[in-house]
Amino acid sequence: MALKSFVLVGTILSHDSLLSTVEFNLNPSTNGGPSVAVLPNSAIPCEVKVGKKIYVVKNEKEEHPTISCEAEKNETQGLL
């Protein structure tokens, strides 16, 4: 059974010029624990660096999940 809606919170653990290793947790968390995935850097729509947070979000109306990045502090200052 595939999930129709989910939010994965990922932290980049390591990377090279082509691939990133990301640890993902469900939000809200479940008792399944974290998972690790290897993603192409081209799938991450922001600067790839260790410790950076990324989000994989899918709702039931979307066919494919969307990957987005944590907002930088200087990006959110103008919103307050």
Residue 51 belongs to domain with CATH number: 2.40.50.140
51 in any annotated domain? yes
* Tens-digit pLDDT profile for residues 15-74: 999 999 999 988 777 777 889 999 999 999 999 999 999 999 999 999 999 999 988 776
As for how many domains the chain has, the answer is: 1
CB-based contacts of 76: which residues, under 8 Å, 6+ apart?
Answer: none
Assess contact for 20 and 39: CB atoms under 8 A. yes
How crowded is residue 10: how many other Cβ atoms within 10 Å of its Cβ? 25
**26 in any annotated domain:** yes
Task: Please indicate, yes or no, whether the overall pTM of this predicted structure exceeds 0.75.
Answer: yes
Range of the domain at 29: 6-79
